[in-house]
Structures are given as structure tokens and as C-alpha cells.
Copies of this chain bind each other. A is one copy, B any other.
Amino acid sequence: MKLATLKDGSRDGQLAVVSRDLSTAHFATGIATRLQQVLDDWNFLSPQLEDLYTTLNVGKARHAFAFDARACMAPLPRAYQWADGSAYPSHVRRVLHARGAEVPAGLLEVPLMYQGGSDDFLGPCDDAVFADLGWGIDLESELAVITGDLAMGATPDAALESVRLLMLANDWSLRALVPAEVATGFGFLQSKPATTFAPVAVTPDEIGPAWRGGRVHLKVASFVNGQRLGEVEGGAGMHFHFGRLLAHLARTRNVRAGSIVGSGTVSHDDEAQGVSCLAERRALEMIHAGEATSGWLRFGDVVRIEALDPAGQSVFGAIEQRVRSTAASEAADAAVAAPGPAASGPAADPAPARAAKAA
């Protein structure tokens, strides 16, 4: 089953079921209006959504409409928890090597995980707005799960049973703000702005044998301005599977339905697969050429992230976002609010901004 949340002007949007091929959708009205409702009462509501999904896939749903990723919010536009692991050792090794920092001794024994902000997620095609290029703007392509309730002290196996939905994320990172926050020991806060999620969340059965061993064995493809950054195997390089990550989170507390847990940046030792963030690309440049020649993202850059099944089909739909400056974003908002001659004001690129707003 594939689920999306469509923009309707409200904070939580409208829940819709999306066809397997991402071509059509159908509002879940009559079953549930918000995804959190479904997660709160999964065993009762999800079979009803599955029925609608079956009907939609065979083309018999009465009020189906064309699915448009640009109309999507994050599947959970806001959540009660977002905790992000760092389950790919090749990512950690490369980034720490580039920073000149030592790889921690327990890297393969205890998952690294940070608690992220979850009050304001971005939709897959929303602009990512930042005030300052000096912050070192970077993408991080990640896989994630949404859980049901999980009791404190759960084992990794029990934890895996709580996985309800899989997602694809862009965990925006501000690299220049990381060192100071890491140095305090209090963890990432300003360096991890609003996270983005791909248009649809899918049940694990949806990817068949690609969901095995608590890992998502799909290729995660990342592009910047149409240039391939990587097409990285999501399962092979993941040391701690999602059950291990969830058990780590649940060690001292209950984890409640609707919690999102991320994999960390998808990575693999095989450099031919490329990378899923610019920090790793820069790290590899340093390792091989002695210096990083790639920069961070700039205003106007477009990031695209997709997870592909063996047939090359997009599973979650694509994240496709433009990096925008706060100033350009504010000018575009003003242009939308007061169209006409004044609309050509100080915005750096008002036309695409209006297009994005209208989507």
C-alpha cells in the first residue's frame, strides 16, 4: 500500500491512497483524514485502506484523480518523533577522515543516533529555504521507517515487527554549523533544519524481497542539478538494520506510534556507486586528491532523490527541491500576495517561485 498526504491548507493535510505506479490517487475520506490517525489505530484502519488500494490499482476506484507529487506534503507533515541513526559505517569513516577526526571505537557495536526536530517537515517539492550560503548547505539521502507502538526494552526482532511504513528522506544538513554543535555534546540542532520526505510512504510488503533483514534493498539515486551524485545500494552497506536502530531508541523509553526513525546517509564502500551527500563527495576528493574541490549547495540548485526498484521504477516518488534564499523566498511570497506590476520586485527568481507556490 502507498500513502500520501495532499496539501489542503491545513497543518496535517489530507490522507490519500496512491496507486502502485504512482499515476493515480484517491482520498481516504470515510476511513481517515490524517496519516497519524491511521498509525494510532493501525490494525483497524489499515485493512480498509488496503481495500481502497486494491480497488485503485485495478482502476475501479470511483473518485480517482491523477497523482501529482507537487501537491504533496510529507506523508507525516509533522510527527511526534524523528530520530535519525547513522547506520552506514562507510559514511561515518569518510566524513570523519575528511574532518581529521578519529573513528570511534564502538562504531560497529553501538548505533549513533540523534533526536531531530519533527514539528515542520518539508514536502517533496517544497523549496528548501536558508538564510546563509556560509552555513554549508548539504543534502543527505536516507531511508526511514514509521513505527507503531514499541515498548521500552524491546529486542531488535520485536522492534522490526513495529515497522508500519517505509519512507525516503532528505535530511538537510548545515555542515558549517556542525562542528560547534558536536563540540558541546548536546548534538545537532541548528545544523539540522527541516527534513524532507518523498511523496509516498509504503508498507514493507510493497517492496517484496527488497525488504529483508530489516533493510531496504533498493538503490537510492541522488542528483544535483541533474548531475548524478550517486546510485547507492540501500541495504548492502547498512551495518545496523532498522530493528537494531529502533531497539537502541527504545532502550530507556517507550516509542509511540508515528515515530520516524532514519537510517542515516545511505552509503557503500564501493566508490563506483557514488555518494548520497556532498560531505562524502568532498571527503573522497580529500582522500584521493588531497583537497575538496566540490562546494556545498548554492541558491537555485535543484536536488533530486529517488529510490528505484530492480525494474528501475520509483518506489516512493521523487524528492525534487530547489535551494532558496530567505530573501528570494520572502520576495516570492510578496509577489504571490500582491500580483501585478509590483510582482517583479526584488526576487532573484520570482517566476519559478510562483510556479512552486501554485503547485
A118 partner residues in chain B, CB cutoff 8 A: 80-81, 118
Q: Which residues of B contact A278 (CB under 8 A)?
A: none
Of A108-116, A229-237, A265-273, A297-305, the one with at least 4 CB within 8 A of chain B: A108-116
Q: Is A349's CB within 8 Å of the partner chain B?
A: no
Residue A249 interfacial (CB < 8 Å): yes
Interface size on A, residues (CB 8 A): 53
Across the interface, A119 reaches (CB within 8 A) one of B188, B248, B259, namely B259
Contact string against B for A residues 322-337, beta-carbon threshold 8 Å, 1 for contact and 0 otherwise: 0000100000000000
Q: Which residue of B lies closest to A177 (CB)?
A: B252
In A186-218, the 8 Å CB interface with B consists of 186-191, 193-194
CA distance A182 to B182 in the complex (A): 9
In angstroms, Cα B23 to Cα A167, docked, is 47
The yes or no answer to A67 lying at the interface (CB within 8 A) is: no
Closest partner residue, chain B, to A82 (CB atom)? B115
Query: In the bound complex, do residue A189 and residue B254 qualify as a contact, i.e. CB atoms below 8 Å apart?
Result: no
Q: Taking the complex as formed, is A228 at the interface, i.e. its CB lies under 8 A from any CB of chain B? A: no
Q: Which residues of B lie under 8 Å from residue A135 when comparing CB positions? A: 252
- When the two chains form their complex, are residues B131 and A252 in contact, meaning their CB atoms are under 8 A apart? yes
Q: In the complex, which of the residues B110, B184, B193, B248 contacts A112, with contact meaning CB atoms closer than 8 Å?
A: B184
A223 at interface, CB cutoff 8 A: no
Q: Digitize A74-97: 1 where CB-to-B-CB distance is under 8 Å, 0 elsewhere.
A: 000011110100100000000000
Q: How would residues 171 to 187 of chain A score, 1 for a CB under 8 Å from any chain B CB and 0 otherwise?
A: 00010010011111111
Given the interface pairs A153-B131, A252-B130, the reply to whether A115 lies near B189 with Cβ below 8 Å is yes
Asked whether A256 is an interface residue with its Cβ less than 8 Å from the other chain, the reply is yes
Task: Give the secondary structure class of A's interface.
Answer: loop
**B112 lies within 8 A of A129 (CB):** no
The answer to whether A350 has its CB under 8 Å from any CB of chain B is no
Complex contacts, A114 vs chain B, CB 8 Å: 115, 186-187, 189
- Given contact pairs A153-B131, A183-B185, A187-B115, A256 touches B120 in the complex (Cβ within 8 A): yes
Contact A115 B113 (CB under 8 A): no
What B residues does A181 contact at CB under 8 A? 185
Given contacts A131-B152, A183-B185, A185-B185, contact A255 B115 (CB under 8 A): no
A106 to chain B, nearest CB (A): 8
Task: State whether A326 touches B152 (Cβ < 8 A).
Answer: yes
Known pairs A114-B189, A152-B326, A186-B113; A120 contacts B78 (CB<8 A) = no
Most chain B beta-carbon neighbours within 10 Å: one of A81, A83, A254: A81
User: What are 8 A-B residue pairs whose CB atoms fall within 8 Å in the complex?
Assistant: A11-B257, A114-B115, A115-B189, A119-B255, A120-B255, A153-B326, A174-B252, A191-B252
| In the complex, the 7 A-B pairs of residues with the closest C-beta atoms, listed nearest first | A187-B187, A182-B185, A80-B119, A81-B119, A119-B256, A193-B253, A114-B186
